[in-house]
Amino acid sequence: MKRLFAVICVLFLSAFAFGQSKSQPSDKFKQLDEDLPTPNEYRTASGAPGNKYWQNRADYVIDVELDDVNQRINGKETITYKNASPDTLTYIWLQIDQNLFAKDSDTQKTSPAPNFGGNGFPLSAVEQLAAREYDGRVNITEVTDSTGKALKHTLNRTMMRIDLPAPLASGGTFTFNISWNYAINNQRVFGGRTGYEFFPRDGNYIYEIAQWFPRMAAYTDYQGWQTHQYLGSGEFTLEFGDYTVRITTPNDHVVSATGVLQNGAQVLKPEWATRLKQAETAKEPMKIVTADEAKANESSKPSGKKTWVFKAGNVRDFAFASSRKFIWDAQGHNVEGNKVMAMSFYPNEGNPLWEKYSTQAIIHTLNVYSRYTFKYPYPVAQSINGPVGGMEYPMICFNGPRPLPDGTYSAQTKYGLISVVIHEVGHNYFPMTINSDERDWTWMDEGLNTFTQYLAEQEWEKNYPSRRGEPQYITDYMVSENQVPIMAQSDSLLQFGNNAYAKPATALNILRETILGRELFDFAFKEYARRWQFKRPEPADFFRTMEDASGTDLDWFWRGWFYSTDHVDLSIENVRLYQMDTRNPDVEKELARKQANNQPKTLSAQRNDALPKRIDQYPSLRDFYNDFDQYKVTDKDRKDYEAFLASLDDKEKSLLNGNYYFYVVDLKNVGGLVMPVIFKVEYADGSSEEIRIPAEIWRYNNFNVSKLIITKKEAKAIVLDPNLETADADLTNNFFPRRFIPSRFQVFKTGQGGGGGRRSGNANRQTTTTTTNGNSLTGRWAIAIDAGGQMIPLTLNLNQNGAEVTGTIEGAQGTMQISSGKLENGVLTIKTTSPMELTLVGNINGVSISGNVTAPQGSTTFSGSKSN
């Protein structure tokens, strides 16, 4: 690096922004005021409910019969609707969501054609044609007022309007009745968030029943009646209310539902009732219906019907599950003073996985979520195994994963189950209690819930394989072409899971870890949950609350992560070194001479050198100018320097002689999303330093900025985002000087495993199980790390004490302390944390060692042997 002449004022130059021209108007820090709704007395500018906040309410009394012979639902309900809005209503809308399964539904009409391709007519298409006979349309057989008089009603696909006999004024209530029936969908054929599963082996069914009764559509201060039809992606926009539901099933079924069972004495076998009571104080999940009892039930034939009565207070929906195949386990749990029954219902096909994990995962979820939001507000929390892969309702959720028929299961299935239970039980907070509008904004419940799920998973076990949350997992999606911003309506989302689950969850994780810090974030997040518990927040209420409660303007963050499809890719384009002009002629003139001498000689000059010169032939031609050395220090120079020094105070003098290095790092924002700049400066002496600069560094110029780093030590390298915390999509430009980053393919092929995944294949390098042959590891080991073709030598100084290994790693630039080390089955694992994180895992074979070394930037191989 060149030493240049710089003046003292370089000291006062910090973030240096290039002038912005008129043709470059991008302002990623522009405030969101124009994009957010104007605050009003319902929703304040701070993001809290306003002083006139209101929401309507619907209470339900429902009688329903589950027809196990024909797989049908027959229901009759009385709805009491309370108009808390300031408006007078002349009609009301209901949601008839099960009409999604009507033969001529919009969902069927608007779904694109499958591609039958060139590989023949798929088996699935045959079954699709055969299934054409099914029509899940809801038959509305009666709509009457409280006196039994018929009400005029009009169906609009998945919605129904009832014209009120008299206008419903603000504060008024309207009570009416609806009778209906429909054929339940076979979930395994038609999919959906509800349905039945048929078990051919024993001829039984599991029913997971939801969206099964005409429900009040929401009437809101921001939209009036919710008018998005149910197309399948956008879930539900609902009102809170109290429910009394009487469910009639064959008398050998076991029923689980939203709410608390009211007539256990009538519907439970006496021993079940006794066990249920015991379970309230059990220390671990205990069986109410055992596996053997459930097995015996499978060959049972009903001798009649039973009616199970459930009550649920202040819930926004009601779902239930029913089967004669259910095992039932339960454990009472105290969540911050609220006594909750955590319960799971599953067939024998779900074991041994379900009895081990489901109820435990429920309790874990309630503990962690309650800590980050508010105390779980309901008396029960249940997880059901049936056909639905994962779907949430108040106090009850449906979860799909099962082991193989032989009872074994892969890690995939195990963590799949734990994760889905955490996720779906977690939905009791978002949106069952924090009642966001799912039909409009999938991310408001799925994104926030996936974020909290990540927190809960990481408290389940160390290095839990969470699929979403870590910034590095989102980068492929962030750079992809085929996407829309998070702030898009639920039915229009492309790459649904990444858009509404993974990206907002990752964004919140970054907001928590990198931008606000845990303390500020957790306070604000909890405040949002507290403000909107049992209320209906809009996106602006979330954005505003997070800013208001954290005391931080985050408009740029919402703009980048929620309103744009930009991705994060910051690049170190160049690093320039400046050093102080000491003004000392003895130093500076000598330096100038060196620089002049270092200038390359041109080709002509080189060839002309040898030519005889006239002034050599006639020395009398020489004068002062021929012999003058402009780099020679004169007395005048020294006097001037002394005068200059005399003009400085002590502080200035120490700065002048401080031997500082001024590194100007030129940064480029390639991806478009502005983010904090996190540097790791690696010094020549082997030490390193982390420098964290807020995203506001980009505020004057969103794309190019230079940052001055002043140090007293010479830097060897500068690394951007060393902890992989910003979702930077291209790591190759994060290093100065540039480093080789192997692709995922190359990492795998060279035998290292892509990202710690479970692997198989030809390239799988055999893990040898050699031992140390009784030799101690203690001593010096010379190893070489393969850095993309270039070998980097290191020395390991090891001390072995049983399985424990301590010592140091010596490199050309310094020595690192081994922070932890162990020897197990001939495999040595050592780690360093400072100045850099490094993990070496090597197989010891006598006096040779070979294995992998992993750093935050990637991993590679190493090998070597004991040198003494």
Taking CB under 8 A as the criterion, the residue among 755, 788, 793, 846 binding other proteins is 755
Nearer to other proteins, 464 or 700 (CB): 464
Nearer to other proteins, 220 or 571 (CB): 571
* Separation CA 521–CA 506 (nearest Å): 14
3-class secondary structure, 142: strand
Choices 525-533, 619-627, 755-763, 795-803 (CB under 8 A): range interacting with other proteins: 755-763
Nearer to other proteins, 60 or 454 (CB): 454
Choices 29-37, 122-130, 209-217, 769-777 (CB under 8 A): range interacting with other proteins: 122-130
Nearer to other proteins, 54 or 354 (CB): 354
Choices 55-63, 107-115, 272-280, 530-538 (CB under 8 A): range interacting with other proteins: 107-115
Taking CB under 8 A as the criterion, the residue among 77, 446, 682, 728 binding other proteins is 446
Cβ of residue 123: shortest distance to other proteins, in angstroms? 4
* Separation CA 235–CA 211 (nearest Å): 10
Per CB under 8 A, 517 contacts other proteins: no
Taking CB under 8 A as the criterion, the residue among 20, 144, 495, 579 binding other proteins is 495
> Buried b / exposed e across 720-751, counting CB within 10 Å, b at 16+?
bbbebbbbbbbbebbbbeeeebbeeeebbebe
Sequence-separated (6 or more) residues with CB below 8 Å from residue 786: 860, 861, 862
Measured CA angle at 844 (ends 810, 739), to 5 deg = 45
Structure tokens at 136: 């899940």
Structure tokens at 53: 């906040």
Sequence-separated (6 or more) residues with CB below 8 Å from residue 126: none
Cβ of residue 669: shortest distance to other proteins, in angstroms? 18
Taking CB under 8 A as the criterion, the residue among 89, 368, 388, 816 binding other proteins is 388
Q: Judge contact between 420 and 389, C-beta under 8 A.
A: yes
Cβ of residue 9: shortest distance to other proteins, in angstroms? 40
Query: What does DSSP say about strands 735-736 and 779-787: parallel, antiparallel, or unpaired?
Result: unpaired
Choices 84-92, 378-386, 737-745, 826-834 (CB under 8 A): range interacting with other proteins: 737-745
Cβ of residue 146: shortest distance to other proteins, in angstroms? 36
* Separation CA 265–CA 306 (nearest Å): 12
Per CB under 8 A, 498 contacts other proteins: yes
Per CB under 8 A, 413 contacts other proteins: yes
Cβ of residue 368: shortest distance to other proteins, in angstroms? 19
Cβ of residue 198: shortest distance to other proteins, in angstroms? 8
Choices 229-237, 339-347, 563-571, 813-821 (CB under 8 A): range interacting with other proteins: 229-237
Nearer to other proteins, 481 or 649 (CB): 481
User: What Å distances lie between residue 804 and 119, 409, 800, CA to CA?
Assistant: 58, 34, 6
Taking CB under 8 A as the criterion, the residue among 25, 405, 619, 802 binding other proteins is 405
Cβ of residue 686: shortest distance to other proteins, in angstroms? 33
* Separation CA 734–CA 728 (nearest Å): 9
Cβ of residue 509: shortest distance to other proteins, in angstroms? 15
Query: What does DSSP say about strands 338-346 and 380-385: parallel, antiparallel, or unpaired?
Result: parallel
Taking CB under 8 A as the criterion, the residue among 277, 692, 759, 780 binding other proteins is 759
Cβ of residue 115: shortest distance to other proteins, in angstroms? 4
Nearer to other proteins, 121 or 222 (CB): 121
Per CB under 8 A, 690 contacts other proteins: no
Taking CB under 8 A as the criterion, the residue among 620, 762, 766, 868 binding other proteins is 762
Cβ of residue 205: shortest distance to other proteins, in angstroms? 13
Nearer to other proteins, 85 or 498 (CB): 498
Q: Of 235, 373, 395, which is closest to residue 315 (Cα–Cα)?
A: 395
* Separation CA 57–CA 220 (nearest Å): 11
Structure tokens at 649: 């105070």
Choices 367-375, 669-677, 742-750, 803-811 (CB under 8 A): range interacting with other proteins: 742-750
Interface positions, 173-212, toward other proteins (CB under 8 A): 186, 188-193, 198, 200
Q: Of 508, 570, 612, which is closest to residue 722 (Cα–Cα)?
A: 570
Interface positions, 447-476, toward other proteins (CB under 8 A): 465-467, 476
Cβ of residue 321: shortest distance to other proteins, in angstroms? 15
Taking CB under 8 A as the criterion, the residue among 8, 17, 169, 494 binding other proteins is 494
Residue reference for tokens 């060139």: 118
Q: Of 176, 228, 236, which is closest to residue 212 (Cα–Cα)?
A: 236
Taking CB under 8 A as the criterion, the residue among 23, 147, 760, 868 binding other proteins is 760
Per CB under 8 A, 352 contacts other proteins: no
Cβ of residue 184: shortest distance to other proteins, in angstroms? 14
Per CB under 8 A, 758 contacts other proteins: yes
Taking CB under 8 A as the criterion, the residue among 69, 123, 605, 611 binding other proteins is 123
Cβ of residue 728: shortest distance to other proteins, in angstroms? 16
Cβ of residue 729: shortest distance to other proteins, in angstroms? 11
Taking CB under 8 A as the criterion, the residue among 5, 16, 18, 116 binding other proteins is 116
* Separation CA 105–CA 135 (nearest Å): 10
Alpha helices in 427-517 (DSSP H): 442-458, 475-479, 496-497, 503-510
For residue 83, the tally of other CB atoms under 10 A from its CB is 22
Taking CB under 8 A as the criterion, the residue among 2, 21, 23, 113 binding other proteins is 113
Taking CB under 8 A as the criterion, the residue among 14, 24, 90, 111 binding other proteins is 111
How many residues form the binding site for other proteins (CB under 8 A)? 81
Interface positions, 248-307, toward other proteins (CB under 8 A): none
Per CB under 8 A, 775 contacts other proteins: no
Nearer to other proteins, 176 or 196 (CB): 196
* Separation CA 196–CA 209 (nearest Å): 8
Using a CB cutoff of 8 Å and minimum separation of 24, what contacts does 278-281 make?
A: 279/329, 279/330, 279/331, 279/332, 279/341, 280/332, 280/339, 280/341, 281/332
Choices 70-78, 387-395, 609-617, 619-627 (CB under 8 A): range interacting with other proteins: 387-395
Interface positions, 552-611, toward other proteins (CB under 8 A): none
Nearer to other proteins, 4 or 404 (CB): 404
What's 222's DSSP letter?
T
Interface positions, 47-106, toward other proteins (CB under 8 A): 100-101
Nearer to other proteins, 101 or 345 (CB): 101
Nearer to other proteins, 85 or 211 (CB): 211
User: What Å distances lie between residue 49 and 46, 84, 544, 637, CA to CA?
Assistant: 9, 15, 11, 73
Query: What does DSSP say about strands 260-261 and 305-315: parallel, antiparallel, or unpaired?
Result: antiparallel
Nearer to other proteins, 74 or 750 (CB): 750
Per CB under 8 A, 746 contacts other proteins: yes
Q: Of 709, 707, 719, 713, which is closest to residue 680 (Cα–Cα)?
A: 719
Per CB under 8 A, 107 contacts other proteins: yes
Using a CB cutoff of 8 Å and minimum separation of 24, what contacts does 13-20 make?
A: 13/708, 14/707, 14/708, 15/697, 15/705, 15/706, 15/707, 15/708, 16/664, 16/705, 16/706, 16/707, 16/708, 17/700, 17/701, 17/705, 17/706, 18/701, 18/704, 18/705, 20/700, 20/701
* Separation CA 580–CA 653 (nearest Å): 12
Q: Judge contact between 406 and 436, C-beta under 8 A.
A: no
